[in-house]
Amino acid sequence: MIIRFLQRHREASVALIIVLLFAILGLVDRSYLSLDTVLLVYGNSLILFVLAIGATMVMATHGLDVSVGSIMGLAAVSAGLLMNAGWSIPAAIGVALLVGLLCGLINGALVSWLKVSAIVATLGTLGLYRGLVHLLSGGSWIEDLPEGFKALTKAGSLGLSVFAWLVLVLLIVAHFGLRYTAFGRSMFAVGDNRDGARLIGIRVDEVQIAAYGLNGVLAALAGVIFASQIGFIPNTAGTGMEMRAIASSVLGGVSLLGGTGTVLGAALGAYFMTSIDSILVLLRLQAYWNDIIAGAILLVVLITDGKIREAVDRLLRYQKYRKFIEPPAAGHQADATKAGLSLKTSEARK
Amino acid sequence: MKLHPALKRWESVLALLLVAEILLFGAINPVFLQPSMLLYATSDFIHIGITALALTLVIITGGIDLSLGSVMGLSAITLGILWVGGVDIWVAAVASLAVGTLAGVFNAVAIHLSKVNPLVITLGTGFLFGGAALVLSGLAGATGYEGISNFDPAFVNLANLEVLGLPLPLALFLVLTVAFMALLHRTRFGRYVYLIGQNPRAAAYAGTPVFRTLVVAYALTGLMAALSGLILASYFGSARSDFGATALMPAITAVVLGGTSIYGGSGTILGTALAALLVGYLQTGLQLVGVSSHVSSALSGGLLVIVVALRSLTEMGRVWVQHRRVLRNVAAE
Amino acid sequence: MAGSSPSDQRPLLVEARQIWKFFGAIAVLRGVDLTLRAGEVHALLGGNGAGKSTLMKMIAGLYRLDRGELLVGGADASVLTPVTARQAGIHLVPQEPMLFPSLSVEENVLMHVPGNRKELRARLETMIAEIGAGMTLSTQAGQLEVADQQMVEILRGLVRDARILILDEPTSALTPREVGKLFGRIRALTAQGVGIFFISHKLGEIRAIADTVSILRDGQVVLAGPPAAFTDAEIVAAMTHVEGREDFTLGRAAAPATVGPERLRVEGLAGEGFADVTFSLHSGEILGLAGVVGSGRTELAETIYGIRPAARGRVLIDGKPLAGHGPRDSLDAGIVYLPEDRQVSGLFVNAPLVWNASALVLHREGEWLPLEKERADFAEQVKLLGIVCASPDQPVRTLSGGNQQKVLLAKCLAAGPRVLILDEPTRGVDVAVRADIYRLIDRLAGEGLAILLISSDHEEIERLSHRVLVMNHGYPGGLLQGADITINAIARLSFGVGANRDAAQ
């Protein structure tokens, strides 16, 4: 049963490990699981949540996007410049999201149409988009963002900000959208078996490009949230976030080989990555312990997950070949003789 | 030797591009053509080339190492901590190189044990090694831009030493290029590197020592990253944990631009070395003609995308043209 | 059975006129004409590389035709894509199942099918029950046996109400009982007006199910009509170049002139997919290992070679157990394995020929590559095996299938084997190369090599082997010797039919 479950839900083993960690931390310190802490960590995780949704989609199609940090920066700078030029907040955000969409579509086109490997293509655009950030901003920080914009990440109803509500809705929509809509399923199909997906009539190139496009939009949204949260836009906005986004998704059981993963898992991973800060406080450690703990947990989860999968595979192999491998060989011919033998021995016993 | 196939090689294209680039920048700003300028400009980027040489091996095996930037920082900090702790600078340097090598071995073992994609594993070890560097420098109270400094002057002078008229880091790079060329193209280990990257399954069927080969490839990458960390520490006269933060992407760029397939199985050391110089001089040249360093890094990103996309397109075009020719011949029959 | 004739009034579903297709510079289809009517089973027959699969993939929209006309339901379909092919009601069941291994049976079948989930699921459940396939909707596709995976592929077509069903060798992994069930299903479908293309290598099946048969050879239709109109001999003659075949007719393999000492001994070996295997192999002997796909032949060979773990039993070479158990140990002991899929586990297709040829012997030289010796050795092999190539540095992928296979043989022979395990040594090679390989195998045995020959081609086994071990569902189904080695006997034992009677004779 458990084997079956783990086999069907690859993300489950990772989720289990994470939940276990949460439980232990909760036992050490009750306040870790208190609503206040959860809300605080949730608020700090918004950017990573949004990026993790995008990473899950791209990775589901057996893709990878390391340019999301630069897209974040580019979108934030676009929105900031427009707002400071007097555009309305929604219009500026809309343009920023369009910029993200365009960046994502370029990534997708490079990977799908021009057949450039995902890491190389997005590595190139990582530099390219970051350069555009500097060109647009003229090398200086963008400050004095409108108060109305900053208010979007200030706690509002039920202790959650506007963006926090939006992200919550996004998480739910993305989680169920990926699992239960035709488009969501086709992304997994493309990542699982590209030729097979083509055979059953899925437009694999278009699906993949769409996944990169959506990822671009989400990265742009993350950039906007980032700008709203800190109130100004440095040129380095978003730098290094790609690695955290990928790490969150991987931590949440999304496979880089495509075809498996859930948004819920990736969100758990993102939440966990962010909550390391709270853990540090709990363990009374300095902030510079953050990365080493993140790395160690990531590796422990990965290697444990790898070992679990290996054990599951071995067991399934054993079950598949059991009749050949088990010491008393039980085949149709051997069966007959063995049945005869056991009959004789049982008679002899009588 | 026939000229034609040699000219068709990617390395020849890179060499021509390199010459054209230097002449172009020289035409805009003659300062660029001064030998001392050309030689000493390399000190800003040669550490990337040195790491890229070893990374080429890893990528040819079909793997990747995202942790090399962190290893650079870790090795520099190890040096600093030991130096502050009173250890002789040369002993400390050897210890730093050992730490880098061990980090590489750790990567290979983790990849082998978990059977997880090298990209993911080295993403994790990247956090781990980078985090270790942060913790070490934090414990030593050396945070921020200061890092650990006041090294033995003999060590700091290394980066400015000249060997046969070349700055030491550049000379080291040239020697290492030759050594890695011999290793990859002339030894059994190098052949195994290619075979594993081409077809890991066929390599296993042929009794190739896959694990041992991977350990050596990743260990060499760790060693070269550590060496780069030391070069930077000597060049800047201080050791910081974030030394390698910006080195990873340019190193991968140099390898891929150098003609190595990111899927493994093909590539050359010479290509990587030339591409490292090409990208490095592009940055230097652009800064010299007044482009900000951030925009110049964007242009090298653009260069990577364009070159790889063009290579992909020419391949598609070649197939298409061949196809058309065949169809025409049939129609003519 | 309704025969197809020119006066047939049933509507035309597919009409192909003078179809050409090129891969690179090689013409795979050379002016093929073909039709399929509603309710018709149209069988396609032909050797490896005759163009059957290419033709079918084209009708499914996976390849685009280069010249000619393709009509589906009377409308032009020259620029068919997988999407439009699907809309036209075409469904291809590929030879190798193309499922999504991490998804369930239900998700695999219903993926991309419009309509009400619940209804579809209910229909699917009835279909599975009708076919009697041993799977549930929630089974993960990657965990299914190949035969069941093939069933899932067929279910995909059924659920989609395909009007044109293409079955590419659907029976290769099925047991006779399953084949019977499949045929029942096919008859039910044709009664509803579905047209079916049926690719098979088995004449018996074609006679049982097909209304029409077209035989392809070298990309052309060389014979077409109702199967009853031709004798077996006529069909076989059409499939094979009679002129070419004459060259290498070896007749029956003679008993080895001298049976040498025992080289390989396998005692009670069991492993992943086989058990209770015991045999010995002598110097100068060719032992055929026959059986259907999935009968444990390849698993047995890979276990002997050390790629797969053995559960029980021993492998002895020259009377001594193997020192360790890995490919390297086997190679050092003189056991060399030629894998069945040269692209996947045999060759480094993007590497130079000379690298491939030396891959098994590198560890016997020093740390530095013996570049000169490597080339000299390869040049010798080129002469010995008649490899047609322009340069030792060209990548393997630029060679024809037959020459690739020769390079693989060169790689194996370079290791200086004492026991050579050949797994499908002539798969996907043309007639001339097949002749070369047969002669080579014969000569190697004559020189005292002990050869274990695995093949799905019963004719190949019959011609070359001195003794034949037939595997049946993972167990030894019988051993044939001398005059008992006939194609029929091999086939009967493979399916476990009349095994006892044969043994009694």
Orientation of helix B118-139 relative to helix A241-251, angle to 10°: 120
Beta-carbon count within 10 A of A3 CB: 13
Tell me if B294 and A131 make a contact (CB, 8 A cut-off). yes
pLDDT band at A3 (very low <50, low <70, confident <90, very high): low
Q: Is C63 on the interface with B (CB under 8 A)?
A: no
Residue B234 located in a structural domain: yes
Quick one: C304 and C384 in the same domain? no
Quick one: C90 and C164 in the same domain? yes
Write out the H or E segment, with its range, that includes residue B222.
helix B210-236
- Per-residue model confidence as pLDDT tens digits over C106-139: 888 888 888 788 888 888 888 887 766 667 888 8
A chain contacts of residue B294, beta-carbon cutoff 8 Å: 130-131, 133-134, 139, 235
In the predicted model, what is the mean pLDDT of chain C?
Answer: 84
Name the domain boundary from C215, C240, C265: C240
Quick one: C221 and C266 in the same domain? no
> Could you tell me the two tokens for B37?
């300028």
* Disruptive mutation site among B111, B113, B240, B305 for chain A (greatest number of A CBs within 10 Å): B305
CA angle, corner A49, sides to A46 and A55, nearest 5? Answer: 145
- Per-residue model confidence as pLDDT tens digits over C67-104: 889 999 888 888 888 888 888 889 998 877 788 877 78
- Per-residue model confidence as pLDDT tens digits over A97-124: 999 999 999 999 999 998 888 988 998 8
By mean pLDDT, which of A335-344, B72-81, B82-91, C418-427 is the weakest? A335-344
Among candidates A7, A260, A324 on the partner chain, residue whose Cβ is nearest the Cβ of C275? A324
CATH at C95 = 3.40.50.300
- The distance of Cα C156 from the centroid of its chain, to the nearest Å, equals 23
**Is residue B283's pLDDT more than 70?**
yes
> Could you tell me the two tokens for A301?
């989860």
Contact present, C249 and C436 (Cβ < 8 Å) = no
Q: Is B317 on the interface with A (CB under 8 A)?
A: no
Q: What is the DSSP string of C353-399?
A: HHHHHHTTTGGGS-SB--HHHHHHHHHHHHHHHT---S-TTSBGGGS
B80 vs chain C: nearest CA distance in angstroms? 37
Pick from B165, B219, B168: which is nearest to B189 by CA? Answer: B219
Distance CA B323, CA A125 (A): 32
B225 vs A335: which has the higher pLDDT: B225
C chain contacts of residue A334, beta-carbon cutoff 8 Å: 275-276, 475
Question: Residue B261: phi, psi to the nearest 5?
Answer: -75, 130
How many percent of chain C have pLDDT more than 70? 89
Residue C341 located in a structural domain: no
Burial of residue A27 (number of CB atoms within 10 Å: 0-12, 13-18, 19+): exposed
By mean pLDDT, which of B253-257, B324-328, C47-51 is the weakest? C47-51
- The DSSP letter of residue C179 is H
ipTM over 0.95: no
Among candidates A124, A139, A288 on the partner chain, residue whose Cβ is nearest the Cβ of B302? A124
**Is residue B276's pLDDT more than 70?**
yes
Residue C445 located in a structural domain: yes
Burial A201-236 (b: 16+ CB within 10 A, else e): bbbbbebbbbbbbbbbbbbbbbbbbbbbbeeebbbe
Residues whose CB falls within 8 Å of the CB of residue B130, separated by 6 or more in sequence, listed in order? A291, A292, A295, B67, B69, B70, B73, B74, B241, B245
Burial A62-84 (b: 16+ CB within 10 A, else e): bbbbbbbbbbbbbbbbbbbbbbe
For residues C35-54, average pLDDT: 86
**Is residue C442's pLDDT more than 50?**
yes
Quick one: C186 and C311 in the same domain? no
Residue B320 located in a structural domain: no
Residue C412 located in a structural domain: yes
Q: Which of A16-25, A77-86, C6-15 has the highest mean pLDDT?
A: A77-86
**Is residue B295's pLDDT more than 60?**
yes
Residue C3 located in a structural domain: no
Q: Is A262 on the interface with C (CB under 8 A)?
A: no
- Per-residue model confidence as pLDDT tens digits over B49-74: 999 999 999 999 999 999 999 999 99
Residue C4 located in a structural domain: no
C chain contacts of residue A203, beta-carbon cutoff 8 Å: 83
- Find the residue in B nearest to A117 (Cα): B262
Q: Which of A37-41, B238-242, C299-303 has the highest mean pLDDT?
A: C299-303
Amino acid at A174: A
Pick from A327, A67, A28, A4: which is nearest to A215 by CA? Answer: A67
Among candidates B201, B209, B330 on the partner chain, residue whose Cβ is nearest the Cβ of C344? B201
Quick one: C137 and C29 in the same domain? yes
- Per-residue model confidence as pLDDT tens digits over C364-396: 888 899 889 999 999 999 998 888 888 899 988
B311 vs chain A: nearest CA distance in angstroms? 9
> Could you tell me the two tokens for B47?
């550490």
A307 vs B282: which has the higher pLDDT: B282
Quick one: C183 and C56 in the same domain? yes
Tell me if B312 and A116 make a contact (CB, 8 A cut-off). yes
By mean pLDDT, which of A289-298, A308-317, C46-55, C169-178 is the weakest? C169-178
Residue C7 located in a structural domain: no
Distance CA C146, CA C172 (A): 10
Quick one: C109 and C219 in the same domain? yes
A chain contacts of residue C86, beta-carbon cutoff 8 Å: 200-201
Which other chains touch chain A, taking contact as 3+ CB pairs less than 8 Å apart? B, C
Residue B19 located in a structural domain: yes
What range defines the domain where residue C44 resides?
12-240
Q: What local confidence, expressed as pLDDT, does residue B102 receive?
A: 97
Q: Is C416 on the interface with B (CB under 8 A)?
A: no
A44 vs C293: which has the higher pLDDT: A44
A chain contacts of residue B297, beta-carbon cutoff 8 Å: 127, 130-131
Name the domain boundary from C389, C416, C443: C416
Q: Is A200 on the interface with C (CB under 8 A)?
A: yes
Which other chains touch chain C, taking contact as 3+ CB pairs less than 8 Å apart? A, B
CATH at B270 = 1.10.3470
Per-domain boundaries in chain A: 2-305
**Is residue C502's pLDDT more than 50?**
no
For residues C183-205, average pLDDT: 86
C25 vs B219: which has the higher pLDDT: B219
pLDDT band at A320 (very low <50, low <70, confident <90, very high): confident
B chain contacts of residue C327, beta-carbon cutoff 8 Å: 204-207
Name the domain boundary from C240, C265, C286: C240
Distance CA B36, CA C144 (A): 68
- Find the residue in A nearest to C156 (Cα): A200
A13 vs A262: which has the higher pLDDT: A262
Quick one: C219 and C291 in the same domain? no
B319 vs chain C: nearest CA distance in angstroms? 7
Among candidates A7, A199, A321 on the partner chain, residue whose Cβ is nearest the Cβ of C94? A199
A196 vs A277: which has the higher pLDDT: A196
- Find the residue in A nearest to C276 (Cα): A329
SS3 of residue B59 by DSSP:
helix
Pick from C214, C221, C213, C166: which is nearest to C29 by CA? Answer: C221
By mean pLDDT, which of C93-107, C170-184, C421-435 is the weakest? C170-184
Cα distances from B176 to residues A61, B6, B50, B172, C168, in angstroms, run 39, 23, 7, 6, 55
Quick one: C56 and C155 in the same domain? yes
Question: Residue C227: phi, psi to the nearest 5?
Answer: -60, -35
A124 vs chain B: nearest CA distance in angstroms? 4
B275 vs A144: which has the higher pLDDT: B275
Tell me if A310 and B115 make a contact (CB, 8 A cut-off). yes
What range defines the domain where residue B115 resides?
3-291
- Per-residue model confidence as pLDDT tens digits over A150-188: 888 887 777 788 899 999 999 999 999 998 888 998 999
Q: What local confidence, expressed as pLDDT, does residue C84 receive?
A: 87
Residue B332 located in a structural domain: no
Domains held by chain B: number: 1
Residues whose CB falls within 8 Å of the CB of residue C234, separated by 6 or more in sequence, listed in order? C223
Q: What local confidence, expressed as pLDDT, does residue A349 receive?
A: 36
Orientation of helix A68-84 relative to helix A241-251, angle to 10°: 130
Q: Where are the alpha helices (DSSP H) in C39-104?
A: 52-59, 82-87
**Is residue A235's pLDDT more than 50?**
yes
Residues 75-114 (A) with a CB less than 8 A from some CB of B: 110, 114
Question: Residue C260: phi, psi to the nearest 5?
Answer: -80, -170
Residue B309 located in a structural domain: no
How many percent of chain A have pLDDT more than 90? 31
Q: What local confidence, expressed as pLDDT, does residue B69 receive?
A: 92
B chain contacts of residue A123, beta-carbon cutoff 8 Å: 249, 252-253, 256, 301, 304
Tell me if A202 and C112 make a contact (CB, 8 A cut-off). yes
Q: What local confidence, expressed as pLDDT, does residue A281 receive?
A: 73
Q: Is C207 left (phi over 0), alpha (psi -120 to 50) or beta?
A: alpha
Distance CA B55, CA B250 (A): 11
Question: Residue B59: phi, psi to the nearest 5?
Answer: -70, -35
Q: Is C323 on the interface with B (CB under 8 A)?
A: no
Orientation of helix A290-320 relative to helix B118-139, angle to 10°: 150
Cα distances from A350 to residues B322, C361, C367, in angstroms, run 82, 62, 69
Quick one: C455 and C500 in the same domain? yes
Residue B26 located in a structural domain: yes
Distance CA C447, CA C208 (A): 45
B116 vs chain A: nearest CA distance in angstroms? 6
For residues C290-306, average pLDDT: 87
Q: What local confidence, expressed as pLDDT, does residue C133 receive?
A: 64
Distance CA C46, CA C215 (A): 6
Q: Is A286 on the interface with B (CB under 8 A)?
A: yes
Domains held by chain C: number: 3
Tell me if B322 and C25 make a contact (CB, 8 A cut-off). yes
Q: Which of A60-64, C73-77, C170-174 has the highest mean pLDDT?
A: A60-64
Burial C156-195 (b: 16+ CB within 10 A, else e): bbbbbebbbbbbbbbbbbbeeebbebbbebbeebbeeebb
Q: Is B200 on the interface with A (CB under 8 A)?
A: no
- Per-residue model confidence as pLDDT tens digits over B134-188: 899 888 776 655 678 888 888 888 888 888 889 999 999 999 999 999 999 999 9
Tell me if C82 and A10 make a contact (CB, 8 A cut-off). no
Q: Which CATH code is given to the segment(s) A2-305?
A: 1.10.3470
B225 vs A311: which has the higher pLDDT: B225
